[in-house]
Amino acid sequence: MGKVIGIAAREKAKDPMVVYASARVSMSKGVADESRGLPKNDRQVTVMTIESWREVCAEIGRNLHWTTRRANILIEGVNLENTKGDLLKIGDFMLEITGELKPCGRMDQYHLGLTKALSPNWRGGVTCKILKEGFVCEGDQVALGEKVAISK
pLDDT in tens, 49-104: 999 999 999 999 999 999 999 999 999 999 999 999 999 999 999 999 999 999 88
- Cα-based distances in Å from 16 to 21, 39, 85, 89, 117: 17, 22, 30, 27, 21
Mean pLDDT of the chain: 91
Prediction pTM value: 0.91
Q: How confident is the model at residue 34 (pLDDT cuts 50, 70, 90)?
A: confident
Architecture label for domain 2-147: Beta Barrel (2.40)
H-state helical runs in the chain: 50-60, 107-110, 114-118
The candidate with the shortest Cα–Cα distance to 5, out of 23, 25, 21, is 21
Q: What string of DSSP letters covers 65-105?
A: -GGGG--SEEEES---TT-TTEEEEETTEEEEEEEE-PPPT
**Residues 65, 84, 26, 46, Cα dihedral to 10°:** 10
Domain positions in the chain: 2-147
pLDDT, residue 152, reads 43
Residue 151 confidence (pLDDT) above 70: no
